[in-house]
Each structure stands twice: as C-alpha cells, then as structure tokens.
C-alpha cells in the first residue's frame, strides 16, 4: 500500500496508507486528515480538497487536467504544485508522496 504524507499548516505530519485506485482525497478522508473537507465528494466542483504537491513529486503526480485547472484558476492561493487531491489517483509509483494542506482549509 502506498504511503502518503499530508503536512498540515501547523507542521503536523499525517502519514496514511492509501489503496491503489482510490484518490488521494479519499485516502485523506478515510484517515481523518484535517483540512481535507471534500464537500463535493470528489466531483471536482468544490476545491475543498486542495493540496500543494511537494516539489520533488510534481513530475510524477502530473499537471491538472482542464476541468481541475479551471477550478484552481479561481483560487487566489493557487501555487506551483496546486492540485485537487480528488483528481489524483493513487498508484504504486506514488508511494512516499508528500503533499501540504493549505492554511486556508484548516
Ligand atoms: S472533493 Fe470537491 S473538488 Fe475535490
């Protein structure tokens, strides 16, 4: 099972075991990671699952697709590495992934 570390704005690290095929958002929800609300349930329409992908993981995670990019576009706090975690499928290659939860979601 791939391990994913969520770092919240207070610096706390939440390492969770994710299942291949679920989304990074679902892994966060399953383990009660604070700051990932996922109000729309993963439909790419709320942006309350926003994360900043750690720089060294950005190439492996990839860029947002069109609909996700549109949602992120309206965010003033969009930064390099911004992704909606419901749009990142967990794969074995993402074992060790590190993402940060934005302060505005805490
Ligand atoms: S859960 Fe709503 S956009 Fe990701």
Report the run of H or E that residue 97 belongs to, with start and end.
strand 97-100
Ligand 1 contacts (CB < 6 A) are: 25, 38-40, 42-49, 84, 86
What pLDDT sits at residue 20? 98
- pTM score of the predicted model: 0.95
Domain of 29 in residue numbering reads as 3-105
Q: What is the dihedral of CA 38, 41, 44, 45, to 10 degrees?
A: -80
Q: Report how many domains make up the chain.
A: 1
What ligand 1 atom has the least distance to the C-alpha of 84?
4
What pLDDT sits at residue 75? 77
Which of 40, 51, 88 best tests ligand 1's pocket when mutated (most atoms within 8 Å of CB)?
40
What pLDDT sits at residue 27? 98
Ligand 1 centroid to residue 71 C-alpha, Å: 9
What pLDDT sits at residue 104? 83
- Nearest alpha-carbon partner for 54 in 16, 6, 1: 6
What pLDDT sits at residue 28? 98
Indicate which residue's Cα is closest to atom 3 of ligand 1.
44
User: Which CATH number is 19's domain given?
Assistant: 3.10.20.30
Ligand 1 centroid to residue 55 C-alpha, Å: 22
List beta partners, residue 1. Answer: none
Q: pLDDT (tens digit, 0 to 9) for every residue of the chain, 106 residues total?
A: 999 999 999 999 999 999 999 999 999 999 999 999 999 999 999 999 999 999 999 999 999 989 999 999 887 788 999 999 999 999 999 999 999 999 887 7
């Amino acid at each position: 099972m791939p391990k994913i570390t969520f770092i919240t704005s207070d610096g706390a690290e939440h390492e969770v075991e994710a299942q291949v095929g679920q989304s990074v958002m679902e892994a966060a929800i399953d383990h009660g990671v604070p700051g990932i609300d996922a109000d729309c349930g993963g439909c790419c329409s709320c942006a309350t699952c926003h994360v900043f992908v750690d720089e060294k993981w950005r190439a492996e995670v990839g860029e947002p697709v069109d609909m996700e990019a549109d949602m992120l576009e309206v965010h003033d706090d969009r930064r390099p590495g911004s992704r909606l975690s419901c749009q990142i499928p967990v794969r074995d290659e993402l074992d060790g992934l590190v993402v940060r939860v934005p302060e505005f979601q805490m």
